[in-house]
Amino acid sequence: MRIGIVNDVRAASEALRRVVDSLPDHQVAWTAADGVEAVALAKRDRPDLILMDLVMPHLDGVQATAQIMAVAPCAILVVTATVSGNISLVYEAMGHGALDAVDTPILGAAGEVSGATALAEKIGTIAKIVGATAEPRRATRPASSTPPRLLVVGASTGGPKALSDLLVPLPRDWNVATLVVQHVDVAFAQGLAKWLGERTGRAVRVAAHGQQPQAGEVLLAGTNDHLVMTTSRTLEYRAEPRDVFFRPSVDVFFESIAEHWPQPGVALLLTGMGKDGGRGLLKLRGRGWHTVAQDEASSVVWSMPKAGIDAGAACEVLPVDQMARVVSARLGG
């Protein structure tokens, strides 16, 4: 994996370089001394991952993250002197698309690096998310002519447990990609993915900007922007529409799937407050998708599923513990 380093402190940059150099299959792509230089370098030579400092002259890490995600989107890990001391800036950077945050390792007088383990673990996790290797960069691969079958899920209040109950009984080895939009603040998205992974025994990851769904994956929307499917069948985070209260929006996500995914799959609208998802579920049903809304008895809050039912968007209304059977029957496995 090719990694860009952004830090205005020379000792910190050197500590980061030494950590990257110590990791197999990873290499430093370039080093920038501030946000302005980082944006320019990312546009010219987009790496697989950027280690982004927060407090820098000219352009700080928050704004640099926002600009990079707009012009040359890639995985960004916030690396700052103290995550807890800069927590508001960390949350802002994550709101613009940064995936996670970690304290900057410290380069000692004798050349040793302390705090390297935490950074190395974060890099390893992100490498799995983006599916990057140390192979030379090639042009972006076109979308496969045979995309996987798709299961899409929207949820809000009570969603984490419902998602866990849904995922556990699903087949382990099947040609289905699962995409989830759960109303959760960006600060908790990584934690939710980890929790779901531990509860279900599956590899649940936060979706990366530009990622293409693959069979067997469970991808979770991970920022406060909307997760959408593009015409090239890749996932992107977009700030628009800004006037939508729920971020990420299930409606925006479902509607983009209806527009751009080439074959019908299964869509589930689970427990949640508000009416998000009903309109999008109806659009999916109109495109031939099998749509299911959670029933009132098994919902923590029945507002979202009810909105879909009232709109005529649900082919079936089921308790969450019966959904895996329907999904498996419809998608195979």
CA 179 to chain centre: 10
Catalytic residue at 276?
Answer: yes
Q: Which of 26, 96, 183, 290 is catalytic?
A: 183
* 15: DSSP letter: H
Residues with Cβ within 8 Å of 104's Cβ and at least 6 positions away in sequence, in order, are 7, 12, 15, 16, 53, 79, 80, 81, 115, 119
Cα atoms in the Cβ-side hemisphere of radius 13 Å centred on 261 = 29
152 three-class SS: strand
Catalytic residue at 185?
Answer: no
CB atoms within 10 A of CB 264: 17
Catalytic residue at 183?
Answer: yes
Residues with Cβ within 8 Å of 188's Cβ and at least 6 positions away in sequence, in order, are none
> For the chain, what is the radius of gyration of the CA atoms?
20
- Helix segments in the chain, DSSP class H: 10-21, 35-44, 61-71, 87-95, 116-130, 159-167, 186-200, 250-260, 278-286, 303-310, 323-331
Q: Would you say 133 and 1 are in contact if contact means Cβ atoms under 8 Å apart?
A: yes
Q: Which of 156, 249, 256, 299 is catalytic?
A: 156
Q: How far apart are CA 215 and CA 225, in angstroms?
A: 25
Helices 186-200, 87-95: axis angle to 10 degrees equals: 80
- Supply the residues annotated as catalytic: 156, 183, 276
